[in-house]
Amino acid sequence: MWLSQGEKRGIQTRPEVSEMPLPQKKRWESMAKGLVLGALFTSFLLLLYSYAVPPLHTGLASTTPEGAAPCSPALSEPEALTPANGSAGGCQPRRDIVFMKTHKTASSTLLNILFRFGQKHGLKFAFPNGRNDFDYPAFFARSLVQDYRPGACFNIICNHMRFHYDEVRGLVPPNATFITVLRDPARLFESSFHYFGSVVPFTWKLSGRDKLAKFLQDPDRYYDPHGYNAHYLHNLLFFDLGYDSDLDPGSPQVQEHILEVERRFHLVLLQEYFDESLVLLKDLLCWELEDVLYFKLNARRASAVPRLSGELYRRATAWNVLDARLYRHFNASFWRKVEAFGRERMAREVAALRRANERMRRICIDGGHAVDAAAIQDSAMQPWQPLGTKSILGYNLKKSIGRRHAQLCRRMLTPEIQYLMDLGVNLWVTKLWKLIRDFLQW
């Protein structure tokens, strides 16, 4: 309480503030809020850091022999999965998976799929400790995994991280499947700008209604590569994958990095072709159709999604040229994979997936569609919102669902943070942050 009263008092005793034209006052307020929150959050992170990290950090260097060695699976592994009957060839379902979760790419939807699969088969997740990412934007390190012990083996790693291959490699069996998801970089940039813009201080200089257009007119004028959170607004895919997102586009390293991604990842999904991607994934992992059913999670309200026009689209692509080359490469290899899979077979399987999703929608979702945050009755179904807006949609679970589907429905609709808690992840930093935001009503 004291904070908001203090804020109010501060405004009353400063006539020059209350005399400001309204929009300007609002901006002043939101900037002050931003500074207070930023300071608080940073202190909490430092606190977390000093608590959670010290003893293990010495083992961070991945050049140590122990770093290169694969984990050694425990003897009491969960029993082998029953062979999938639905999949062709009677293959063995794969359950060791590294999902490099990129930002703003429908990756929350994929996360839900992995949570469900892991939960269903009692698999061991490598989860972060205290928050829902691995200290992003710092590089991933094994020591950040909850309950990590040298030699420990995990089945699934899927939370946000800045990728560090050697560190991840050592946590999973040698035959683990590596996947990630990309998205058209211009669209991704637009989404990231709206979602993260308010936590990137160099965008505060931008005024007027269309900040995005203004930024793209002359990005170099505003962009500061060393600015706080700058990575969100320049080649974010490259950054998340662990590379230098400010690399000179003419450098031969760009192509080397792209080829490295190709060597390391067994499948690169595309957000634009999400259903086709899931069909390829299901085939690669030898999973069943039910395993890849989904509802779109963490999506924005349509009115909050301005589409980039031709000229701005071109500029956004040019600004994120490293990501554009990455995307072009994997768009091409994606369609080669579809070709190898069989175009007709793909069309059939995509149709089957959509029918099954549609059926689940009718069974699970009250009203049959996503709704605004304010219309979500059960707090366990409230999605996490970006700072300053409530533009992320969520769902209401139907009141009466048959026993056969009740569990699947609930799991499919549970937002990421709540699902992590259900899976036993300690999220004290995230919860504290939510408390502060609720308190400031932001």
Ligand X SMILES: *[C@@H]1O[C@H](CO)[C@@H](O)[C@H](O)[C@H]1NC(C)=O
Minimum distance between the CB of residue 22 and ligand X, rounded to whole angstroms?
Answer: 41
Minimum distance between the CB of residue 335 and ligand X, rounded to whole angstroms?
Answer: 5
87 counts as binding ligand X under rule CB under 6 A: no
* 116 closest CA partner among 393, 399, 340, 419: 419
* 332 closest CA partner among 262, 244, 388, 282: 262
Minimum distance between the CB of residue 344 and ligand X, rounded to whole angstroms?
Answer: 17
CB closer to ligand X, 289 vs 429? 289
332-361 residues near ligand X, rule: CB under 6 A = 335
The 200-229 site mask, x for binding ligand X (CB under 6 A), equals ------------------------------
Minimum distance between the CB of residue 79 and ligand X, rounded to whole angstroms?
Answer: 11
* 434 closest CA partner among 389, 385, 396, 397: 385
Among 82, 379, 400, 441, binds ligand X (CB under 6 A): 82
CB closer to ligand X, 22 vs 75? 75
Minimum distance between the CB of residue 121 and ligand X, rounded to whole angstroms?
Answer: 13
CB closer to ligand X, 94 vs 301? 94
CB closer to ligand X, 331 vs 382? 331
Instruction: List, in sequence order, every beta strand (DSSP E) within 221-351.
Output: 267-270
89-108 residues near ligand X, rule: CB under 6 A = 92, 94
The 313-332 site mask, x for binding ligand X (CB under 6 A), equals ------------------x-
Minimum distance between the CB of residue 81 and ligand X, rounded to whole angstroms?
Answer: 9
CB closer to ligand X, 276 vs 416? 276
Gap between the Cα atoms of 144 and 133, Å rounded: 9
Minimum distance between the CB of residue 94 and ligand X, rounded to whole angstroms?
Answer: 5
Minimum distance between the CB of residue 43 and ligand X, rounded to whole angstroms?
Answer: 42
Minimum distance between the CB of residue 44 and ligand X, rounded to whole angstroms?
Answer: 39
* Torsion angle of C-alpha atoms 205, 160, 266, 182, degrees rounded to 10: -30
173-202 residues near ligand X, rule: CB under 6 A = 173, 175, 184
Q: 381 with 417: CB under 8 angstroms?
A: no
CB closer to ligand X, 83 vs 225? 83
* 409 closest CA partner among 312, 311, 278, 295: 295
Angle between helices 107-120 and 403-413 (to 10 degrees): 140
Q: For residue 346, what are its two tokens?
A: 């793909």
Minimum distance between the CB of residue 369 and ligand X, rounded to whole angstroms?
Answer: 27
Gap between the Cα atoms of 185 and 326, Å rounded: 9
* H-run or E-run covering 177: strand 177-182
CB closer to ligand X, 4 vs 72? 72
The SS3 of residue 145 is: strand
Bridge partner residues of 145 (DSSP) = 128
Minimum distance between the CB of residue 426 and ligand X, rounded to whole angstroms?
Answer: 29
For residue 433, the one-letter residue type is W
Site size toward ligand X (CB under 6 A) is 10
Minimum distance between the CB of residue 80 and ligand X, rounded to whole angstroms?
Answer: 7
Gap between the Cα atoms of 292 and 353, Å rounded: 8
Q: 246 with 239: CB under 8 angstroms?
A: no
User: Burial code of 86-124, b = ≥16 C-beta within 10 A, e = fewer?
Assistant: ebeeeeebbbbbbbbbbbbbbbbbbbbbbbbbbeebebb
Among 58, 85, 379, 400, binds ligand X (CB under 6 A): 85
Q: 183 with 271: CB under 8 angstroms?
A: yes
CB closer to ligand X, 38 vs 73? 73
CB closer to ligand X, 222 vs 330? 330
144-173 residues near ligand X, rule: CB under 6 A = 173
233-262 residues near ligand X, rule: CB under 6 A = none
CB closer to ligand X, 70 vs 227? 70
CB closer to ligand X, 28 vs 335? 335
Q: 98 with 157: CB under 8 angstroms?
A: yes
CB closer to ligand X, 338 vs 392? 338
Backbone angles phi, psi at 267, to 5 degrees: -145, 130
Gap between the Cα atoms of 320 and 325, Å rounded: 9
Among 34, 67, 73, 219, binds ligand X (CB under 6 A): 73
Q: 235 with 183: CB under 8 angstroms?
A: no
Backbone angles phi, psi at 129, to 5 degrees: -115, 115
Q: Which stretches of the chain bind ligand X, using CB under 6 A?
A: 73, 82, 85, 92, 94, 173, 175, 184, 331, 335
